[in-house]
Amino acid sequence: MEGQEGWLPGPDPAGYFPYPSFRRYQRDVIAFAYNVLVRGQIGLVNAPCGIGKSIAILTAYLMARDTALPREEAKLMVLTRTKAQLEIYVREVRRIREKLGRELRAAVFASRKDMCPLKLDRPSLAKARYKDFLRTCRELRRGKRAVCPYYEATYRSRFKLSSATRAAVERALRLGAALPSEILEIGRDLGVCSYEVVKCMARRADMLVGNYNYLLLEPVRDAILWRFGADLPELNCVVDEAHNIDKWAVEVMSDDISSVSFSRAAREAEEYEVRDGGLMELMADYVDKLGQETYRLYGPDYERLIDPGLVAEDVLSKLGLTSRRVLMALLRSLEAEGDKIRLARAEEGEAAISYVGRCASFLIDFLSFSGREFAHYSLAVERDGNVRGRIGLRCLDPSITAGILNELRSVILMSGTLWEPDYYIEVLGLDRSRTQFLSVPSPFPRSSRLLLVDKAVSTKYERRVEAEFNAIARRLSAIIRAIGGRVAVYFPSYDVMHEVLK
């Protein structure tokens, strides 16, 4: 543990820990996390799987909340990457309440789509891509052309909850922490929006659990934090599986699109009588032309840098528009037309998608994000002898979004593979003067470790077919029989696990 000078011993963690004994090194993680929370620092924790990091962090939080944190600085946000990690925190909160009798409430967020009761009634919504779903949901909540019956029943007036919503909130809060599937069931049972129920729970919760977007994306963050009753300088945060956060921060600001999407948008504009001034057809040809140039120079799958300013000038010239401002106004109007198309398709029982809206949103970002932090590129994709073009936008600097970490009262980034603290300090733009680092060794003796690699099978995406799953199952069975004792088998995803188990 680095930088321990002046660190506080804190209360005995045994009184805040819901299990009969501690695992090896677990007390070290608790002491480190307690001091990061109390002193308002940034902590990087490298601790292998099996340590019990999640409950160690919650134990440290309870200790700090009871002994050191003023009420206005006692809120905790936990960011996870996967649904499985989210479920761990639900389980641990419930155990703390059951075994220790301590008051602890968590508002647990999944995506709007995952928690939508209406999508269970309308398969067209379930089939929509996530961004299309979000825009359709927004239109239904606005209620100008169509309404969501669940959202409409959630509020008695603009700012007052209905009695059904209040009942849903109370039922969920009694659990301490509820899985998204449980909230979905409660919402559907009472006829209200499950996502809005969790938002209403946030005001009375001690913890908020969700994915990285709840901190890194400004619109999502702003929509949730005021309900949680904490501003960034008052908020404590834990980032689970933090070795992914730099990639997540880059991907959330990156996107690409194909000429095929623009061609489909052109046909959609004609079908729905959208006046796009020929923009979508022009872009389909333009992206393919860029792709052909890239292919001649570098071959397929090579990202050639292009200048978004020149792209804008070419489009303005060919469409006869007078300024970039006029082009952006056109794109925003096409975004709005896309919302209408999604809604119309959903009402007709079709997938709630819009190529016009998708292409317009992409071009707004492509032309708006600039500077050294972003790369704009053209790509040629070769399939069955045909070459088609793609254009894309890639964020090069994770600190653009992850820099928000410095504004938090305290933050703990933890992972089993957070080996190089300097890398994360640099790439995330962390305040080095506030940053502490803890690395603990594996709790398992070296004599118990046998590392083997089986090159005969693979879980690579392109090899995920029935024959490969059968081969993995056969080889696992042989290994398990040879070991003869207890064996834990870990898979890259639940989907792969279920296929192998078949």
Mean pLDDT of 451-466: 84
Q: Which residue has the tokens 């599986």?
A: 241
**For the chain, which residues make up each domain, given as ranges?**
1-104+206-251+398-443, 111-176+186-202, 255-368, 450-501
Using CA atoms, how far apart are residues 422 and 412, in angstroms rounded to an integer? 15
> How does the average pLDDT of the chain come out, rounded?
93
Burial class for 72, CB neighbours closer than 10 Å (0-12, 13-18, 19+): exposed
Query: What does the block give as tokens for 359?
Result: 């292409």
Give pLDDT, residue 6. 59
Read out DSSP for 122-162?
-HHHHHS-HHHHHHHHHHHHHTSS---HHHHHHBSSSS-B-
For residue 151, report the phi and psi dihedrals to the nearest 5 degrees.
Answer: -70, -40
Cβ–Cβ under 8 Å, residues 437 and 44:
yes
Using CA atoms, how far apart are residues 272 and 448, in angstroms rounded to an integer? 65
Using CA atoms, how far apart are residues 494 and 354, in angstroms rounded to an integer? 30
Mean pLDDT of 76-90: 93
Give pLDDT, residue 198. 97
pLDDT band at 5 (very low <50, low <70, confident <90, very high): low
Mean pLDDT of 241-252: 91
Give pLDDT, residue 94. 97
Burial class for 502, CB neighbours closer than 10 Å (0-12, 13-18, 19+): exposed
Cβ–Cβ under 8 Å, residues 362 and 331:
no
Give pLDDT, residue 4. 55
pLDDT band at 1 (very low <50, low <70, confident <90, very high): very low
pLDDT at 461 over 90: no
CATH of 1-104+206-251+398-443, one of 3.60.20.10, 3.40.50.300, 3.40.50.20, 3.30.70.920: 3.40.50.300
pLDDT band at 464 (very low <50, low <70, confident <90, very high): confident
Domain 255-368 in the same topology as domain 1-104+206-251+398-443: no
Give pLDDT, residue 502. 86
DSSP 15: G
Mean pLDDT of 47-70: 95
Q: Name the H helices within 1-122.
A: 26-39, 53-67, 83-100, 118-121
Q: pLDDT per residue over 403-457, tens digit each? A: 899 999 999 999 998 989 999 999 999 999 999 999 998 877 777 777 778 888 8
For residue 349, report the phi and psi dihedrals to the nearest 5 degrees.
Answer: 80, 10
Using CA atoms, how far apart are residues 491 and 498, in angstroms rounded to an integer? 10
Query: What does the block give as tokens for 468?
Result: 């490969």
Q: pLDDT per residue over 164-214, tens digit each? A: 999 999 999 999 999 999 999 999 999 999 999 999 999 999 999 999 999
Q: pLDDT per residue over 339-373, tens digit each? A: 999 999 988 888 899 999 999 999 999 999 989 99
Topology of domain 255-368, CATH: Fumarase C; Chain B, domain 1 (1.10.275)
Q: pLDDT per residue over 275-316, tens digit each? A: 999 999 999 999 999 999 999 999 999 999 999 999 999 999
Q: What's the whole-model pTM score? A: 0.84
Read out DSSP for 278-338?
THHHHHHHHHHHHHHHHHHHH-TT--EE--HHHHHHHHHHHHT-S-HHHHHHHHHHHHHHH
